[in-house]
């Protein structure tokens, strides 16, 4: 792909839709969800301990993890495991016990929360270190959260589609995403942040981004992905909107390469298996530009090996 084509690809409405949707989930939703789930888990944990004295006793020996199961739990850990399962909306799914440090269940509510989350969170100690999908999974699986889980699952579904969309989504998709996110936010009507977050989502999705790319040195050296420059072409006419729009443009610029990297990693190393078409699309996107190719050289090697294995 020539430089001009790559710039056109970055400026395609579908790529800009993708960026805006990622921004909403990653930047706007994460903090309020972390605040909310943190408070909720704190009170859930306190209630559990008050209702069951066995949950207040210290762990003797932490259980061992074998093939996703905890074996030989002590009395206290065993009670905690029972309680966690009793409050699991889908106890038949694999519970990611390896996220947890069972000997901390007694005094650390976030160690309990992590049992309801996707795997890979062993080293995460606080709500604010979790990403939006992890927090949405907690709300979906733990029955302490009295929200409409259909709405929660719909946003999780949109988020998964976003990962597999290889950096592009169409207007129809974005419209559905906006509706489902809006429905989710309405569930938090008693939270003080609800209206502000709803407004931020609407503003972000209405932004008209114009993407230019800064060349370093001679044009033949290629485009510099790190220096992609996002400018706002136009937006709703509001007095205070200009500074917010430039802030937003700055944030999206900061986020872009990092989001690409996280998405590529989830596709390659996540729990889902990748199909061949997805790998081919991913590879051609990353090779479209010399800088991206350099930034993602290790990932491109993984893609080549995966495709080779499947021949
Ligand atoms: Zn124990």
- Residues 6 or more apart in contact with residue 85 via CB below 8 angstroms: 91, 95
Q: Classify residue 7: in a domain, yes or no.
A: no
Which of 206, 230, 250 is at the close of a domain? Answer: 206
Q: Are residues 236 and 115 in the same domain?
A: no
Q: Give the residue-averaged pLDDT of 116-124.
A: 93
Distance 128 CA to ligand 1 centre (A): 26
- Residue 39 CA to residue 36 CA, distance in Å, equals 5
For the chain, what is the domain count? 2
Which of 153, 181, 206 is at the close of a domain? Answer: 206
Q: Are residues 127 and 276 in the same domain?
A: no
Distance 50 CA to ligand 1 centre (A): 19
Q: Are residues 47 and 174 in the same domain?
A: yes
Of 296 and 271, the structure prediction assigns the larger pLDDT to: 296
- Residue 127 CA to residue 264 CA, distance in Å, equals 24
Distance 112 CA to ligand 1 centre (A): 13
Res 6: pLDDT: 64
- Residue 154 CA to residue 298 CA, distance in Å, equals 33
Residue 91, φ and ψ in degrees, nearest 5: -65, -10
**Reported confidence tier of residue 228, pLDDT bands at 50, 70, 90:** very low
Which of 206, 221, 236 is at the close of a domain? Answer: 206
Q: Are residues 60 and 185 in the same domain?
A: yes
Q: Are residues 119 and 77 in the same domain?
A: yes
Q: Are residues 117 and 255 in the same domain?
A: no
Distance 69 CA to ligand 1 centre (A): 14
Q: Are residues 181 and 280 in the same domain?
A: no
- Residues 6 or more apart in contact with residue 23 via CB below 8 angstroms: 204, 248, 251, 252, 255
Distance 58 CA to ligand 1 centre (A): 7
Q: Give the residue-averaged pLDDT of 255-281.
A: 80
CA distances from 274 to 167, 267, 268 (A): 15, 7, 7
- Print the domain residue range for 136: 15-206
Q: Are residues 75 and 139 in the same domain?
A: yes
- How deeply is 227 buried, as exposed, middle or buried, from its count of CB atoms within 10 A (0-12, 13-18, 19+)? middle
- Residue 191 CA to residue 40 CA, distance in Å, equals 12
Distance 34 CA to ligand 1 centre (A): 28
Among residues 291, 301, 255, the alpha carbon closest in space to that of 1 is found at 291
Strands (E), the chain: 64-66, 69-71, 208-215, 223-234
Which range has the worst mean pLDDT, 63-67, 118-122, 178-182? Answer: 63-67
- Residue 240 CA to residue 32 CA, distance in Å, equals 23
Q: Are residues 28 and 157 in the same domain?
A: yes
Q: Give the residue-averaged pLDDT of 9-17.
A: 82
Distance 46 CA to ligand 1 centre (A): 19
Q: Are strands 223-234 and 208-215 parallel, antiparallel or unpaired?
A: antiparallel
Distance 145 CA to ligand 1 centre (A): 26
Of 223 and 229, the structure prediction assigns the larger pLDDT to: 229
Distance 207 CA to ligand 1 centre (A): 52
Res 185: pLDDT: 97
- How deeply is 194 buried, as exposed, middle or buried, from its count of CB atoms within 10 A (0-12, 13-18, 19+)? middle
Q: Are residues 29 and 93 in the same domain?
A: yes
Among residues 127, 129, 79, the alpha carbon closest in space to that of 105 is found at 79
- How deeply is 182 buried, as exposed, middle or buried, from its count of CB atoms within 10 A (0-12, 13-18, 19+)? middle
Q: Are residues 303 and 246 in the same domain?
A: yes
pLDDT, one tens digit per residue, over 88-99 is 999 888 899 999
240: DSSP letter: T
Res 226: pLDDT: 41
Of 49 and 10, the structure prediction assigns the larger pLDDT to: 49
Q: Classify residue 39: in a domain, yes or no.
A: yes
């Amino acid at each position: 792909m020539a430089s001009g084509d790559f710039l056109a690809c970055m400026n395609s409405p579908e790529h800009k839709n993708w960026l805006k949707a990622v921004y909403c989930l990653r930047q706007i939703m994460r903090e309020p969800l972390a605040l909310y789930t943190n408070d909720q888990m704190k009170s859930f944990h306190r209630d559990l301990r008050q209702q069951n004295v066995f949950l207040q006793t210290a762990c003797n020996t932490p259980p061992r993890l074998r093939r996703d199961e905890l074996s030989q739990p002590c009395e206290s850990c065993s009670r905690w495991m029972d309680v966690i399962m009793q409050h699991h909306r889908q106890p038949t799914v694999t519970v990611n016990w390896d996220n947890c440090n069972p000997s901390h269940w007694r005094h650390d509510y976030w160690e309990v929360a992590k049992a309801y989350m996707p795997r890979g969170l062993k080293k995460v100690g606080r709500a604010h270190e979790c990403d939006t999908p992890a927090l949405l999974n907690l709300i979906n699986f733990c029955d302490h959260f009295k929200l409409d889980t259909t709405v929660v699952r719909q946003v999780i579904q949109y988020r998964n589609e976003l990962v597999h969309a290889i950096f592009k989504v169409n207007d129809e998709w974005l419209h559905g995403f906006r509706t489902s996110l809006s429905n989710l936010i309405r569930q938090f009507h008693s939270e003080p942040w609800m209206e502000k977050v709803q407004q931020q989502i609407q503003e972000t999705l209405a932004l008209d981004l114009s993407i230019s790319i800064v060349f370093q040195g001679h044009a033949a050296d290629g485009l510099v992905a790190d220096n992609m420059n996002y400018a706002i072409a136009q937006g709703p006419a509001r007095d205070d909107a200009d500074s917010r729009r430039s802030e937003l443009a700055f944030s999206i610029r900061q986020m872009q390469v990092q989001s690409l990297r996280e998405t590529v990693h989830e596709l390659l190393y996540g729990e889902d298996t990748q199909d061949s078409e997805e790998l081919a699309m991913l590879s051609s996107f990353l090779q479209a530009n010399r800088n991206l190719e350099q930034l993602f050289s290790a990932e491109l090697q993984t893609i080549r090996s995966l495709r080779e294995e499947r021949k």
